[in-house]
């Protein structure tokens, strides 16, 4: 699978721009897809929940796209 991940990473970066994907991430995707899981949804994971509301963030960005932190 290593060679396939290298080639797939190269193809993604060629199509969408350098640095779009890294080989380790592509290896994880391929492993997941080979198990039959073709879902593109993020899995739940541990850690702190986000401290912002996506709708509120979207409204802020739409109001002033040049806003920074």
What whole-number distance in Å separates Cα of residue 57 and Cα of residue 63?
Answer: 10
What domain range is 5 assigned to? Answer: 1-38
Does residue 12 sit within a domain? yes
Does residue 10 sit within a domain? yes
Does residue 53 sit within a domain? no
Structure tokens at 49: 């929940």
Does residue 34 sit within a domain? yes
Does residue 55 sit within a domain? no
For 14, 46, 55, the CA distances from 27, given in Å and listed in that order, are 17, 21, 32
Structurally, how many domains does the chain consist of? 1
The predicted model scores a pTM of 0.54
pLDDT digits (tens, 9 = 90+) for 58-68: 888 888 888 76
Does residue 63 sit within a domain? no
Nearest 5°: phi and psi at 35?
-80, -5
Does residue 59 sit within a domain? no
What average pLDDT does the segment 37-65 reach?
80
Does residue 22 sit within a domain? yes
């Amino acid at each position: 699978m290593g060679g396939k991940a290298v080639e797939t990473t190269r193809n993604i970066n060629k199509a969408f721009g350098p640095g779009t994907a890294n080989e380790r991430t592509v290896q994880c995707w391929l492993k997941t897809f080979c198990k039959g899981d073709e879902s593109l949804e993020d899995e739940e994971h541990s850690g702190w929940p986000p401290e912002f509301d996506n709708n509120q963030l979207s409204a802020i960005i739409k109001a002033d796209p040049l806003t920074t932190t």
